[in-house]
Amino acid sequence: MSIPPLPPPSATTAEGRLPVGDGHEIFWEESGIAGGVPTLYLHGGPGGRLTPGYRRQSPAGRARIISLSQRGAGRSVPGAGAPGAVDLSTHTTAHLVADLERLREHRGIESWVVQGVSWGSTLALAYAQAHPERVLGVVLFAVTSTSRREVDWITEGVGALYPEAWDEFASVAEAHAGFDRHDHSPQRLRLVEAYRRMLTGPAGALVDHAARAWMTWEDAHIGIGGGGPAQSHAAHEDQPVSEYERGFARLVSHYWAHDGFVADWARDWGAAPGAGLLGGMPRLDGIPGVLIHGRRDVSGPALTAWELHRAWPGSELVLVEEEGHGGPRMVDAWRDAVDRLLG
C-alpha cells in the first residue's frame, strides 16, 4: 500500500519568547487557524529540533497548532549548548511541565490536544497526568516513559545489537569518566551518568569529544526500520561540534541520568514509590489517547507502549510492524489520530 505525498507544512501565524522564570525564555510558535481546536506539539530529545514538519500532522483548516522549543533547546534562551560548563539545575520534567502551563495561559487556551514524539511523549504524559483537566486528548509517537529500564536499555542493553558502535561509545567513558563495562554491581557507575559528568564539566575538549561520541551513538541505535532519524545527529568528523550537538547531548544525558525525573512522578497521586509515569496512568481515565509505535524500534522496544496502553482505559495502541523509531506509515497513523481526535 502506497503512502500519499505529505502536504506542505502550514505557515506560522505568530511566534515569540515567553519568560518562564529561572532566567529562561521559551520560544513558541503558532500556525493553523485562531478559531480551531488547540493542539500542542512536543518535540523529542530532550534538546531536539523544532522542525516545520510537525505542522503537517494537524489539519491547518481545523486546528490552532502550537509548539515550543523546550527549555534550553532550539530558539529558547539560554541554550544548553554553550561552550564550557553549564548549570542544568533548573532543567527537570517538573520545570518543563510548568513551562507548558505558562504557555497555555499566555496564549489564552482553556484546553488542548497534546502530541508528543519520542521524549516528547514522556513530557506529554507527564503534563497530562499533572493537568488532566487541560487535556482534550493525547497522541504519542515513538512512545517512551523514560524509566530506568528504558534508559539502561538505550544506553547499554541495545549495545548487544550494535556491539562495534557501542564499544566506541563506551570506550570514551572508560577512558575519561571511570566507567567500567565489566562492573555489574548495583553500585556501579552507569554509562549515562559517566556521559552526564563529561558533558556538563568545564573541560571544553572533553565536552566536545563526549558530545560527538553521544551523537554518533544516537545515529546508530535509531537507524533500524522504515524511516529512522530524519537526519544525522552527528556532524562529520572534519567539522567542529555545533552548539546544537553539544546542547542535545547535554540535555539528553542530564534527563536520562535522572531517569527523566519521573521515577516518583505519580507518588502524590497514590502510586507506589518508583512507579513513574506508568503509576499515574489512572489519571488519564476518560481522556482519549492514541499510542503509535514501530515494532522495529530497537532503541525503544514496544513493551513500554504496551504497558502504558494496558494501564490507560480507553486508549488505542497502533503498532506498525515494518517501521522503527519513525517512518511514513507511522506518520500517516499520527495524522489520522489527530484528525479523529479533532473530530
Summarize pLDDT for 246-271 with one digit per residue, the tens.
Answer: 999 999 999 999 999 999 999 989 89
Tell me how many domains the chain contains. Answer: 2
User: What CATH number is given to the structural domain containing 44?
Assistant: 3.40.50.1820
275 and 126 both lie in a single domain: yes
Mean pLDDT of all residues in 127-152: 98
225 and 338 both lie in a single domain: no
Q: Is 67 a domain residue?
A: yes
For the purposes of burial, counting CB atoms within 10 Å of the CB of 334, is it exposed (0-12), middle (13-18) or buried (19 or more)?
Answer: buried
User: Annotated catalytic, 297?
Assistant: yes
Mean pLDDT of all residues in 156-162: 95
102 and 198 both lie in a single domain: no
Strands annotated E in 61-210: 63-68, 112-117, 135-141
Q: Is 175 a domain residue?
A: yes
Residue 220, φ and ψ in degrees, nearest 5: -70, -50
Residue 100 three-state SS:
helix
Q: Is 252 a domain residue?
A: yes
140 and 162 both lie in a single domain: no
For the purposes of burial, counting CB atoms within 10 Å of the CB of 154, is it exposed (0-12), middle (13-18) or buried (19 or more)?
Answer: buried
206 and 280 both lie in a single domain: no
What is the spatial distance between Cα 316 and Cα 51, in angstroms, rounded to a whole number?
27
253 and 267 both lie in a single domain: no
12, pLDDT greater than 70: yes
* pLDDT confidence bin for 238, thresholds 50/70/90: low
Residue 46 three-state SS:
coil
43 and 114 both lie in a single domain: yes
37 and 142 both lie in a single domain: yes
177 and 266 both lie in a single domain: no
Catalytic annotation, pick one of 147, 293, 297, 315: 297
Amino acid, res. 312 = W
Residue among 119, 138, 44, 64 at smallest CA distance from 338: 138
Asked which of 196-205, 285-294, 296-305 is least confident by mean pLDDT, the reply is 196-205
91 and 226 both lie in a single domain: no
For residue 228, the model assigns a pLDDT of 44
Mean pLDDT of all residues in 320-324: 95
Contact in structure between 142 and 226 (CB atoms under 8 Å): no
Strand order in the sheet with 12-21: 12-21, 24-32, 63-68, 37-42, 112-117, 135-141, 289-294, 316-320
- Identify the domain containing residue 204 by its residue range: 150-258
Residue with cell 529558547: 76
* pLDDT confidence bin for 343, thresholds 50/70/90: confident
What is the spatial distance between Cα 104 and Cα 22, in angstroms, rounded to a whole number?
19
Which of 258, 292, 308 is at the close of a domain?
258
306, three cell numbers: 504496551
Mean pLDDT of all residues in 304-318: 96
Mean pLDDT of all residues in 16-31: 97
Q: Does a cis peptide bond (omega within 30 degrees of 0) precede residue 9?
A: no
Mean pLDDT of all residues in 12-26: 96
Catalytic annotation, pick one of 24, 233, 254, 325: 325
Mean pLDDT of all residues in 333-341: 96
What is the spatial distance between Cα 65 and Cα 82, in angstroms, rounded to a whole number?
30
Other C-beta atoms closer than 10 Å to the C-beta of 335 total 16
Catalytic annotation, pick one of 58, 69, 118, 299: 118
